Structure 1
Amino acid sequence: MNFIAWIIVACEIGFWVVIAAGLITRYIFNKKRLGLFFLALTPVIDLLLLIVTANDLYNGATATQVHAIAAIYLGVSIAFGKSMIRWADERFLYYIKKQEPKPVRKHGLAYAKHSMKGSLQHVLAFIIGGAFLYLMIYLIDDPSKTEALSGMLKVWALILGIDFLISVSYFIWPRPQKTG
């Protein structure tokens, strides 16, 4: 595994460490502002990842799929960050603090709308991450060195299309309510 891949792993671990630190600080130590500070560090970690990746490419590395993942990771983190933190908040309060009602499993039209909201967030992630991919491709200005970046952009566009089809399918064939 190359250096950038290890940085991605470290950033993913760092992401969940600051989420956990933020939740523990907010709900165990009742330090709301400090907890918010930790939670706000998540995009900083992603930006650090992108800077390291860009620096590697700037210093002459040929772009790989791992480099592309850094841009995708940043886009996904920005687009889904708030909802991921909300998701973690709900589960932390329920499973750790035993304060909230159990998170409700959506079904029917509510689930279809939730799924479509996720697809729209995916579009935002694609716009953000894709912009960084295009920027790296533009700045490197050597198609032989950026082939992996443009290839990953095409794969991501295909995945985005599949995501939308799945979300639309829930409006046609709603998710049934789970019994028992």
Structure 2
Amino acid sequence: MIVTLIVVCEVGFWVLLAAGLATRYLLKMPRTGAALLLCEPLLEVVLLVATAVDLESGAEPSWKHGLAALYIGYTVGHGHRTVKWLDGHAAHRFGGAPPPAKPPRHGMARAKHEGRVWLGTLIAAGVTTVLLQIAIWYVGDASRTVSLESWMTVAWQAAAIHGLIALSYALWPKKAPKTEPEREPVPAGRD
């Protein structure tokens, strides 16, 4: 049931996002579109409550509950950035707004950008850890919660790997390509 609910929440996320943006820009109803976009967090609340009810009803804590916590953590850490990015593109494509700024491609500006994205992953790992720790305390039997503890490790391993990748942008910043000076055109017929 939990895995199915995770899939439903993911599909629901994209359906609500598409409906919110379409309502906002195609139907020219910005308030209604914003209201639909603000419903996104309700999907995570539904998943959280369903996971808690599943554990309360005596379900054995398993990888499914860990995955649910990881999914909620990822959505908290990166959901807002994803919605904002897509909203900027929809505003440009359908609302006449200027194109959204692209992330920097070179130098320390790129490193700072990657660092900000990594902060979202840190938030995701933190939220995942908090949710899993609450579930562990709730179950109250260390022998039954080993799988939940392993998901904490997965969350922090992902954050560490992402942190190393973000750090690489600071240690070895990509240099902007050098532009070649323009040459005078050679008139036709001259060698």
TM-score of the superposition, structure 1-length normalised?
Answer: 0.89
Counterpart position of 2:126: 127
Instruction: Tell me the equivalent position of 1:149.
Output: 148
Distance in structure 1 (CA, Å) of the matches to 2:51 and 2:177: 44
Q: Which residue of 2 aligns with 1:90?
A: 88
TM-superposition CA deviations, 1:81-140 (whole Å, max 9, x none): 221111111222345556432652521222211110011111112222211110001000
- Does the 8 Å CA contact 1:18/1:38 hold for their aligned counterparts? yes
Are the structure 2 counterparts of residues 92 and 146 from structure 1 closer, same or farther at C-alpha, using a change threshold of 3 Å?
same
Question: Which deviates further from its counterpart, 149-158 or 104-113?
Answer: 104-113
Aligned AA (2:9): C
Pairing 1:113–2:120 present:
no
Q: Distance in 2 between matches of 1:145 and 1:37?
A: 41
The range that moved more, 39-48 or 93-102, is 93-102
Q: In structure 2, what is the equivalent of residue 174 of structure 1?
A: 173
Q: Which residue in 2 is equivalent to 1:51?
A: 49
Distance in 2 separating the partners of 1:95 and 1:36: 17
Cα deviation for residue 31 of structure 1 reads 1.4
**2:8 aligns to what?**
10
Task: Work out whether residues 25 and 94 of structure 2, in 8 Å CA contact, stay in contact via their aligned partners in 1.
Answer: no
Displacement of 1:38 in angstroms is 0.8
The match for 1:65 is 63
Q: Which amino acid aligns with 2:166?
A: S
Contact map agreement 1:119 1:167 (CA 8 A) in 2:
yes
CA distance in 1, matches of 2:91, 2:177: 23
Task: Measure how far apart 1:168 and its partner are.
Answer: 0.7
- Change over 3 Å in CA distance of 1:99–1:53 after alignment to 2: same
Give TM-score, length-normalised by structure 2.
0.84
Greater Rg, structure 1 or structure 2? 2
CA distance in 1, matches of 2:64, 2:175: 38
Matched residues in 1 for 2:63 and 2:111: separation?
A: 32
Q: What percentage of residue pairs aligned between the two structures are identical?
A: 32
Shift of 1:34: 1.1
Could you tell me how far apart the structure 2 residues matched to 1:42 and 1:88 are?
14
> 2:26–2:94: 8 Å Cα contact kept in structure 1?
no
Alpha-carbon RMSD across the aligned residues, in angstroms, is: 2.0
Indicate if the aligned counterparts of 1:11 and 1:45 stay in contact, CA closer than 8 A. Answer: yes
| Count of residue pairs the alignment pairs up | 177
Give the structure 2 partner of residue 33 of structure 1: 31
Distance 2:166 2:72 in 1: 23
1:23 to 8, 12, 21: 21
Gaps of 5+ in 2: 179-191
Q: Which has the higher helix share?
A: 1
